[in-house]
Amino acid sequence: MIEESRIQPLNKNQPLKGEYILYWMQASQRAEHNHALEYAIGQANERKLPVIVFFGLTDAFPEASERHYFFMLEGLQEVKQTLKTKGIGMVVERCSPEEGAAKLAGRAALVICDRGYLKIQNKWREQVAKSIGCPLIQVESDVVVPVEITSGKEEYSAATLRRKLQRVLPLYLTPLDQQLPAVDSSGLDFESYDISGIFRVVEDLHIDRTVKPAPLYHGGTLAARKRLRDFIEHKLAKYHELRNDPNEDCLSSLSPYLHFGQISPSFVASEVGRSGEAGSDAFLEELVIRRELSMNFIRYNPDYDSYRGLPDWAKKTLFEHRNDARESLYSREELEKAGTHDPYWNAAQREMMTTGKMHGYMRMYWGKKILEWMSPPQEAYRTAGYLNNKYELDGRDPNGFAGVAWCFGKHDRPWGSRPVFGNVRYMSAGGLKRKFDADRYAGRYASDTI
């Protein structure tokens, strides 16, 4: 079942007598548990038309590097093969996505798209909605509960969102019926950009090549499902006890796959909920409450990617303490090279640079220290965002933007005043040592071991 609240017309056009139904896949890069794809198949079967899936491969996605493209292309290769087994043709064009979608819409009865929250994603959909002659219908598939259903405003914290979300959450954990198209489109003759050789494709793109593919992570729904299965069977039972210890391999590592839409959060939530493991509630707090709080932030705060998006109390206290003496000061270049006096921070930076992911607890500490070591706080904010987006596989994501903002006071409350931070929450190396064996963690990512 696809809940009506997931479905939103983006223009007022009427369906045309087209040759096919077009699903413009961009955010939900998967061929299963995909509400937008299932809606497109249903519309096509009603009209006895084939379904065509389109993906626009652009060189110009902000802050994306070779690491991000490589992971995404691994997933897209799998999507194309899986769709073919379902009798659905997939067209990939190397172009700005809104241009390719508008072109293919010229022969479509209607166009279905998935939903993104970032400014560039909204801009693409607005441009297509205005430029095509048929309907553009957006179907939400990358959150469990559509953001506007949970709340019609920017929420102050997880506590305020949690109450609202929990009231409607059971209504959105229903299974999604999956169907096959009545008309096969896999043999239709469309020109498509060849993505079969990832190294060749990446070499052909005009992108940042300074950040190489992450060796421990391979893209695609099969890899995501394997990680989910391993997490439920071997880690979930102790997740609530060990999730904040980076020396314990107790996390799901699903955030890159969720970022690229390679696995459905609704599917993940259902599988974890059915497991009955002791750590389920703690994990669902992160997957649903915290993740969808970040979507709420992106949806309702136009300055989500800027220091301006912080709450007034945080900006006020950081302004008042902007000239406080700092024990250490580092440039962006020094931070990027993990060249600080703090072995724990350096280890976190190296973990991110080498693996494409940083343990969540260390990412909080990492962001707090950037605020402590840079002046003014606006520059610290820009640097944290730059490094996160450049190296993290799940960078350039609502969770990433919200995570950086949290380090500067977003979704938090004022704490006791102290130098540099004012009333913004502080984290220390001593606090790490009380939580876990910080020296063991630092040793894993020492410069002479990686």
Q: Is 92 helix (H, G, I), strand (E, B) or coil?
A: strand
Structure tokens at 176: 């999604």
Residue 373 near residue 328, CB atoms below 8 Å: yes
pLDDT band with cut points at 50, 70 and 90 for residue 449: low
In the chain, the amino acid numbered 32 is E
Query: Sheet harboring 20-24: ordered strands across?
Result: 7-9, 136-139, 108-113, 20-24, 51-56, 89-93
DSSP label at residue 286:
I
Q: What is the CATH number of domain 143-175+220-300?
A: 1.25.40.80
* Tens digits of residue pLDDT in 90-102: 999 999 999 999 9
Burial class (CB in 10 A: 0-12, 13-18, 19+), 400: buried
The identity of residue 89, as a single letter, is G
What string of DSSP letters covers 30-44? Answer: -SSS-HHHHHHHHHH
Q: Distance of alpha carbon 408 from its chain centroid, rounded?
A: 20
For residue 244, pLDDT over 90 is answered with yes
User: Residues for the chain: how many in total?
Assistant: 450
Mean pLDDT, residues 201-205 taken together? 95
The answer to whether the beta carbons of residues 107 and 101 sit under 8 Å apart is no
- Which distant-in-sequence residues (6+ apart) come within 8 Å of 124 by Cβ? 26, 96, 97, 98, 101, 116
- The share of the chain scoring above pLDDT 70, in percent, equals 99
Bridge partners (DSSP) of residue 91 are 54
CATH 1.25.40.80 in the chain is located at: 143-175+220-300
For residue 61, what is the DSSP state? -
Tell me, what's the pLDDT at 365? 98
Mean pLDDT of 398-415: 98
pLDDT digits 0-9 by tens, 189-201: 899 999 999 999 9
Q: Say if residue 62 is preceded by a cis peptide, omega within 30 of 0.
A: no
Q: Are 237 and 279 in contact (CB under 8 A)?
A: yes
Residue 212 reports pLDDT greater than 60: yes
Q: What's the CA gap between 262 and 149, in Å, rounded?
A: 24
For residue 115, the one-letter residue type is: R
Minimal CA–CA distance to 411: which of 165, 207, 158, 210?
A: 158
Q: What is the CA radius of gyration of the chain?
A: 22
What is the rounded CA–CA span in Å between residue 370 and residue 441? 19
Picking from 80, 95, 79, 90, the residue whose alpha carbon sits closest to that of residue 128 is 95
pTM of the model: 0.97
Cα(302)–Cα(312) distance, integer angstroms: 15
The whole-number average pLDDT for the span 296-313 is 98
Rounded distance between C-alpha atoms, residue 310 and residue 296, angstroms: 14
CATH 3.40.50.620, the chain: domain bounds: 1-141
Residue 448: band (very low, low, confident or very high) from pLDDT cuts 50, 70, 90: low
Q: Could you tell me the fold of the domain covering 307-444? A: DNA Cyclobutane Dipyrimidine Photolyase, subunit A; domain 3 (1.10.579)
Which position has the token pair 């954990």? 173
The answer to whether 400 touches 356, Cβ cutoff 8 Å, is no
Q: Is the pLDDT of residue 276 over 80?
A: yes
pLDDT at 213 over 70: yes
β-sheet bridge partners, residue 8:
138
Residue 447 is predicted with a pLDDT of 74
Contact between 143 and 295 under an 8 Å Cβ cutoff? The reply is: yes
Q: Where would I find the H helices in 178-245?
A: 198-204, 221-234, 239-242
What pLDDT shows up at residue 247? 97
Model confidence band, residue 205 (pLDDT cutoffs 50, 70, 90): very high
Residues 6+ apart with CB under 8 A from 53: 22, 23, 25, 37, 40, 79, 83, 88, 89, 90, 91
**Alpha helices of 250-342 — where are they, by DSSP H?**
255-259, 265-275, 280-284, 291-300, 312-320, 332-336
Q: Which of 292, 301, 235 is nearest to 258 (CA)?
A: 292
The whole-number pLDDT of residue 92 equals 98
> What is the Cα–Cα distance from 17 to 25, expressed in whole angstroms?
22
Phi, psi of 244, rounded to the nearest 5 degrees: -95, 10
| Mean pLDDT, residues 69-83 | 98
**What does the angle CA 245 – CA 247 – CA 253 come to, to the nearest 5 degrees?**
80
Give yes or no for a contact between 378 and 372, defined as CB atoms under 8 angstroms apart.
no
Residues carrying CATH 1.10.579.10, the chain: 307-444
The superfamily (CATH) of domain 1-141 is HUPs (3.40.50.620)
Structure tokens at 45: 């079967």
Quickly tell me which residue has 């493209």 as its tokens: 69
The string of pLDDT tens digits covering residues 17-27 is 999 999 999 99
Confidence of residue 450 (pLDDT cuts 50, 70, 90): low
What string of DSSP letters covers 113-171?
E----SHHHHHHHHHHHHH-SS-EEEE--SSSS-HHHH-SS--SSHHHHHHHHHHHGGG
